[in-house]
Amino acid sequence: MALLETSKYSQGSVLGSVNPDLASERQTASFSVEKLTALLDGGVEQTRIRRAVVDAIESDPVFSRENQYFQTQNERYEAAVKKAVHLQKKMHEMGWTENGPEYKYIYRALSGDVAFLLHRVFMRSISMLGSDKQIAKWIPLATQHKLIGSYAQTELGHGTYLQGLETTAVFDTATQEFILNTPKISAMKWWPGDMGRSATHTVVFAQLYVHGKCYGIHPFIVQIRSLQDHSLCPGVTAGDIGPKMNFEHIDNGYLLLKNVRIPRENMLSKFCEVRPDGTYVRQGSQKINYFTMTSVRISLIADEVLTPLMKACTIAIRYSVVRRQSKLKPGEQEAKILDYQTQQEKVLPQLAAAYAFHFTNDYLQELFNRGYREIQRKNFDMLPELHALSSGFKAMITQHCTAGVEICLRACGGHGYSLLSGLPSLYTKILASCIYEGENTILLLQTARLISSTAAKLQDLIQSGVKKHDAWNQCTVQLVQAAKAHCHYIAVKNFAETVEKLETKAGIQKIMKHLCDLFALHGIFSNTGAFLHDGYTSAAQMDMVTASYLDLLAVIRKDAVPLVDAFDFTDKSLNSALGSYDGQAYQRLYEWAQKSPTNQMSPAYERYLKPLLHNTLSKL
Amino acid sequence: MSVNADLRKERASATFQPALLTHILDGGPERTRRRKEIEALVLNDPDFQHEDLNFLSRSQRYEQAIRKSSLMVMKLREYGIADPEEIYWFKSFVHRGRPEPLDLHLGMFLPTLLTQATPEQQDRFFMPAWNLEIIGTYAQTEMGHGTHLRGLETTATYDPSTQEFILNSPTVTSIKWWPGGLGKTSNHAIVLAQLYTQGQCKGLHAFIVPIRQLGTHEPLPGITVGDIGPKFGYDEMDNGYLKMDNFRIPRENMLMKYAQVEPDGTYVKPVSDKLTYGTMVFIRSLIVGDSARSLSRACTIAIRYSAVRHQSELKPGEPEPQILDYQTQQYKLFPLLATAYAFNFVGAFIKDTYHRISGDISTGDLSELPELHALTAGLKAFTSWTANAGIEECRMACGGHGYSRCSGIPDIYVTFTPSCTYEGENTVMMLQTARFLMKSYTQMTSGQQVTGMVSYLNDLSRQRIQPQHVAARTVSVRINDPTSLVEAYKSRAARLVESAAKNLQAELNHRRSKEDAWNRTSVDLVRASEAHCHYVVVKLFAAKLAEVTDAAVRAVLTDLCLLYALFGISRNAGDFLQAGILTSAQITQVNQHVKELLAVIRPNAVALVDSFDFHDVHLGSVLGRYDGNVYENMFEWAKKSPLNKTQVHESFHKHLKPMQAKL
């Protein structure tokens, strides 16, 4: 479908007609691109639905991201709010519902450039943590957007370590209210999305105090802005936390509460309740809570982590066959930079990783669906394993993919540094995923706690008289490495098993086998120390690993462009001057640059340059 | 506000005087004094104050930069600051380590006039340029070609009938793209173009091309010029494009100190082309220094913040510990701190070497140039790659707050990262070094002695005489001794150079063309160059220790040097194991010792970043403030965000309210 897309700049320029350097790459594909796309989507029907959603979104001018790179933070935020509002209308128009098959493709089609994402988290947390009565009261209001919700957990002073949160909620039996306070600066809520400017309500996590006793962290629904004029409620101070590396369209906010009173009924009370007399009651199992966190970690992998890496690979690889530089043989045309071994060694392992993690994600989704069914049956046996796996994979995949996007960015040389390449914003966006939903190092340690392959070492230290907690800290570097190795192993194993199950037709199995080998060999090649140290691999074998690894690069090189074409990103979704389907990178770069606001006459000339050039500096 | 108690405690526990270490980094107490004097001139000057740049749009940032640059030029002259290093300091304080639109005018246009213009051309251009009536840039890179200069496509065709050059951008890819200051600021450019005269192409030459009308600043007829749009960083710089259509300039505008075109079109060749090596070495040495400084700044921020932030618990019931007490945090940051020190010393070394031999260059002795050229190419790539990754690691070590612009690290990163590309793309640089290594290896195998930093290759030929297989020899590496570790790195470099050379030969034996064989070995070649550069860095760091007179400072630098060397071994254990330089048992010891060193360095960590002596204004970070009052100042900073300008954002009235009314 990218083929059919015509750019509005195509009149009078070469845009739209495919660059012969890119066209020739497509003629030699060893497999059917369309079939691989269907495999990635999970079936032909899924591909069809996805394309229909993408088409509906992209053909609507409100959702355009065309000027994104030129907009200020204020403009980006306003556009995102506008899109969020418009999306409601669009969904209604198209007959898409939250439970329909289209829903999961909307976010991808919008490239995440939309406000009120936390509104969904707000609703989810009420559904999960609220009593039936609370759900009946709040969910309809939220669904109809009578209010806009956010989710306020992280504070200035504490993130991943939830027990350390400092916001307080003190129960006042006299008025049957909770009194919420931000006792010190580090207790200020900081980072929650949609909270800086948009949200009217938010779920605040606070330390619950009843009769002077602390019961730990609990969730409370707090109204922060007026439903009439959007002004802040009494006792509430809130605002935007200022510019970040990305997410300019989101108003990540701060929130300071001073004696803000909320009714007793606003504490989300599916599992814990404070009775009118102040009695604290715990009911049901809280284990399901962990499942929410774990499922969020897994659900973000596809959209927030894999998609950016796949887009970055698409851009870098297409650009690498369009850009020619220097000569490989005297007298010949300059070579495509993808023909250089060093360039292959940069981008092709990232491509292999994108495929590997796609299948890892399938595997995890399947595992979670199974886990979810078990939990529905009140069987919590799988929870510890799911928790450990979700932590470890979230950390390993985000780290790997983030590094991969940066490698793609730098593999595009100077032009990769232009925002118009699309790569800087893919990078700054994906790297946030290393932090949110649990900082990576800490998550890996959680995995390590379960697998503890360094258990023996820990045992030694404990026996040698070091206290257990010190012992843990002294081993953490090793534990992190062990956890990463564990997840890497599963990823390789799963990829290999997936390849075996693929149908042999259409050449797909063969190319997937190559990618799987490359993924595995790259893992060894970049960690030779670990493999030699274990004695698992000999020095001579290592030479063979290196040789086969380098040979494979040349093999995969031939299918590199079809392999990224199979990801099936439209030009609008890539939003890249370098990576579009037609390969007209230079022409597009030139045309896009001319639209830059900096090319309108700047006041700097009259004010500063002119006096400077006319040698009247002293008048400044 | 008083200094945060944690930081006070950290500073009190240091085992050495940071000021003494600062002197070493600056090159003597007198240099430190002078640097601080110049810093004060800028910081106390109300003309150089402005709003936090994070809250300004790109156009506004450009405008601020131009305003400050104009004042800077005037004040430099007023204060009589003329020494290049002092100018660099002044400029860097004014612009807080960021690029500015006059960078290429001052750093490329003027120096190129001095070195490549004839006396007549200097008369015509230099004084107007010095007085900023002419603002110039240096237009080399094109849309289609960067590091590979021979591929540039802009043409300058000589027309003897009018005694003019006709400049053309014949293709889209030939449009000049990226030169700083080209988009909006400059009215002249030194343009590199393929010279055609008498029907023949004579290769790349430099031409002075007026691009904008003096007075109105409008582009001249035949010139299309503009800004290339938003980038990852460099917001204050108007990187530009330039397209020329039959644009004519007089014959006298070709820079003709070396090569010449006579009025009838006869081409006169330059004497030597090695001379351009000098400039390249100089600029690459600046990038090595920049790698050191940028990484030092990031380390300062991350380490101070890690001493201020408390999180979680190490022992139940105890207060939350400083995150710097976690081993994983130390493991992220201390090797980078050691690297920052190593690169500072490498930067100083290259600068000194350059100054030492630039005397030789002017007397015509170019013998040391090829090695220095090869070495700086590799070190430029090695240090910028490492610093680039290190800055990101520092940012991530600051968790979520590192992602906010207020941490300052995003800006350090986006400003620094293009140095992996400009002045020679890093992979290409590594391959240049590899070319020199392969040449030296061939010399060695043909029985010649090689000298300089590659002299370790001579050992390979000596080892070959021994009957024993090299890999089987036991090596006695003492992991507590920097000198011994230098030897280990030396062996690794020798091994990887030899292995790359053999693989290259094997490819050639398969009757591949030279170029094809080179390409099929290039991953090995890059690894060999990296190992060579790594060895040089360890060697220079170890050598520096002997120069330090203060025992306390020497002790802490020795810890850092050991950490740098051992961490490098740990990370590249495969190379050392495969070559038989270290045994598996020794690698285990190395890993263990790295962790012990983390604990040893821990009490000095804050003092070690204090020694870099970055002023808060220069650091530009709320997380890295000297006084450690992080949270209060984050709140103050956020209140100034553009989204907070009004209590209720206009989007509420435009979009939210109508939606709520409708539903």
Structure confidence by residue, pLDDT tens digits, A177-203: 999 999 999 999 999 999 999 999 999
By the CB < 8 Å criterion, does A186 face chain B? yes
Q: Report d(CA B254, CA B202) in Å as an integer.
A: 13
> Is residue B423 flagged as an active site residue?
yes
Which tens digits make up the pLDDT trace of B428-466?
999 999 999 999 999 999 999 888 889 999 888 766 555
Question: Hunting for tokens 């809570």 — which residue is that?
Answer: A289
Final residue in a domain of this structure, among A115, A132, A157: A115
Q: Which of A177, A332, A437, A497 is catalytic?
A: A437
Q: What are A494-525's pLDDT values in tens digits? A: 999 999 999 776 699 999 999 999 999 999 99
Q: In this predicted structure, what is the pLDDT of residue B147?
A: 83
**Residue B652 in this model has a pLDDT that exceeds 90:** no
Same domain as A342, residue A227:
no
Q: Report residue A193: phi and psi, to 5°.
A: -70, 155
Q: What is the pLDDT of residue A615?
A: 63
Both tokens of B320, joined, read 């939350």
Do A108 and A155 belong together in one domain? no
Clarify whether residues A392 and A487 are in a common domain.
yes
A531 lies in some domain: yes
Q: Does residue B647 sit at the A interface (CB-CB below 8 Å)?
A: yes
CB-based contacts of B84, cutoff 8 Å, min separation 6: none
DSSP string, A196-262: TTT-SEEEEEEEEEETTEEEEEEEEEEE-B-TTT-PBPTTEEEEE---BSS-TTS--EEEEESSEEE
Q: Does B241 sit within 8 Å of A328, measured CB to CB?
A: no
Q: Chain A interface, mutation test: which of B523, B586, B654, most A Cβ atoms within 10 Å? A: B523
> Using CB atoms, which residue from B177, B399, B421 is nearest to A439?
B399
Residue A574 lies in a domain: no
pLDDT band at B469 (very low <50, low <70, confident <90, very high): very low
pLDDT in tens, A223-252: 999 999 999 999 999 999 999 999 999 999
Mutate which of A608, A614, A619 to test chain B, going by most B C-beta atoms within 10 A?
Answer: A608
pLDDT at A13: 63
Residue in B522, B571, B654 closest to A340 by CB: B522
Taking CB atoms and an 8 Å limit, are B396 and A431 in contact across chains?
yes
Residue B459 near residue B473, CB atoms below 8 Å: no
For residue A154, the domain's CATH number is 2.40.110.10
A77 contacts in chain B (CB < 8 Å): 643, 649, 651
Q: Considering only CB atoms, which chain B residues are within 8 Å of A521? A: none
Q: What pLDDT is stored for residue A6 in this prediction?
A: 36
Q: Which of A115, A132, A151 is the last residue of a domain?
A: A115
**Shortest alpha-carbon distance between residue A88 and chain B (Å):** 9
Is the same domain home to A322 and A273?
no
Inter-chain contact B651–A77, Cβ cutoff 8 Å? Answer: yes
pLDDT digits (tens, 9 = 90+) for B511-554: 778 999 999 999 999 999 999 999 999 999 999 999 999 999 99
Task: Reply yes or no on whether the pLDDT at A618 is more than 50.
Answer: no
**Does B241 touch chain A if contact means CB atoms closer than 8 Å?**
yes
Could you tell me which chain A residue has the CA closest to the CA of B521? A341
Judge if A97 and A126 occupy the same domain. no
Our CA angle for A584, A586, A588, nearest 5°, is 65
CA distance A51 to chain B (A): 28
The minimal CB distance from A420 to the residues B229, B575, B658 is found for B229
Task: Name the more confident of A604 and A85.
Answer: A85
Residue B200: phi and psi, rounded to 5, are -120, 145
| ipTM field | 0.92
Q: Is residue A614 part of a domain?
A: no
Distance from CA of B611 to the nearest CA of A (A): 27
Minimum-distance CB partner of A73 among B580, B632, B642? B642
In a domain, A545, yes or no: yes
Q: Are A87 and A106 in contact (CB under 8 A)?
A: yes
The count of CB pairs under 8 A between chains A and B is: 369
A296-351 pLDDT, tens digit each: 778 888 889 999 999 999 999 999 999 999 888 888 899 999 999 999 999 999 99
CATH of the domain at A321: 1.20.140.10
Q: How far is CA B290 from the centre of its chain?
A: 4
Q: Evaluate whether residue A459 is within a structural domain.
A: yes
Encode pLDDT of A545-573 as tens digits: 999 999 999 999 999 999 999 999 999 99
Judging contacts by C-beta atoms under 8 Å, the chain A residues touching residue B310 are 157
CB within 8 Å of chain A, chain B residues 469-508: 471
Chain B interface includes A576 (CB < 8 A): no
Q: Is B180 annotated as a binding residue?
A: yes
pLDDT at residue A373, as a whole number: 86
Put simply, the answer to whether A528 touches B654 (Cβ < 8 Å) is no
Structure tokens at B346: 């490498």
Burial A279-313 (b: 16+ CB within 10 A, else e): eeeeeeeeebeebeebbbbbbbbbbbbbbbbbbbb
Does any CB of chain B come closer than 8 Å to the CB of residue A539?
A: yes
**Does A39 lie in the same domain as A96?**
yes
Query: Quick one: average pLDDT of B493-507?
Result: 96
Burial category of B626 from C-beta neighbours within 10 Å (exposed 0-12, middle 13-18, buried 19 and up)? middle
- Under the banding of pLDDT at 50, 70 and 90, the label for residue A462 is low
Q: Is B230 on the interface with A (CB under 8 A)?
A: yes
The distance of A70 to chain B (nearest Cα, Å) reads: 7
Min mean pLDDT across A56-70, A440-454, B541-555 is at A440-454
Q: Which of A245-254, A363-372, B498-507, B562-571 has the lowest mean pLDDT?
A: A363-372
Span A197-219, pLDDT tens digits: 999 999 999 999 999 999 999 99
Predicted pLDDT of residue B4: 97
Q: What is the CATH number for A65?
A: 1.10.540.10
pLDDT at A289: 65
Tokens of B33: 């004094």
Q: What is the pLDDT of residues A573-583, one digit of tens each?
A: 999 999 999 99
Residues A275 and A304 placed together within one structural domain of the fold: no
- Within-domain flag for A330: yes
Average pLDDT over residues B489-506: 96
Q: Which of B10, B423, B487, B507 is catalytic?
A: B423
Both A406 and A484 in one domain: the answer is: yes
Residues of A in contact with B402 (CB under 8 A): 435
Same domain (yes/no): A131, A61: no
CA distance A254 to A258: 13
Residues 472-501 (A) with a CB less than 8 A from some CB of B: 473-477, 480
1-60 of B, contacting A, C-beta below 8 A: 54-55, 57-59
CB B137 within 8 Å of CB B179: yes
Residue range of the domain that includes A490? 291-565
Q: Sign of the C-alpha dihedral, residues B214, B216, B222, B224? A: positive
Contact call for B70 and A611, based on CB within 8 A:
yes
In contact, A416 and A576? CB cutoff 8 Å: no
Contact in structure between A302 and A368 (CB atoms under 8 Å): no
| pLDDT attached to residue B273 | 62
Identify from A241, A346, A469 which residue to disrupt to test chain B contact, counting B C-beta atoms within 10 A and taking the largest count.
Answer: A241
Same domain, A271 and A306: no
Asked if the structure places residue A510 within a domain, the reply is: yes
- Residue window 327-346, chain B: list those with CB within 8 Å of chain A: 327-328, 331-332
Is A103 among the domain residues?
A: yes
Q: Which candidate from B67, B227, B232 shows the least CB-CB separation from A608?
A: B67
CB-based contact A597 B59, cutoff 8 Å: yes
CA closest to A13 among chain B residues: B172
Overall number of domains in chain A = 3
pLDDT(B83) > 90: no
- pLDDT given at position A8: 36
Q: Are A276 and A317 members of one domain?
A: no
Q: In the listed set A232, A257, A283, which residue is the last one of a domain according to the structure?
A: A283
Q: State yes or no: B521 annotated in a binding site.
A: no
Complete DSSP assignment for A385-450: HHHHHHHHHHHHHHHHHHHHHHHHHHHTHHHHTBGGGSHHHHHHHHGGGGTTTS-HHHHHHHHHHH
Distance from CA of A501 to the nearest CA of B (A): 34
Q: What is the pLDDT of residue B167?
A: 98
Give per-residue pLDDT as tens, B343-363.
999 999 998 888 888 777 667
- On whether both A124 and A53 belong to a single domain, the answer is no
Of the pLDDT bands very low, low, confident and very high (cuts 50, 70, 90), residue A99 is confident
* Averaged confidence pLDDT in chain B: 92
Cβ contact B184–A598 (<8 Å): yes
Nearest chain B residue to A192 by CA distance is B400
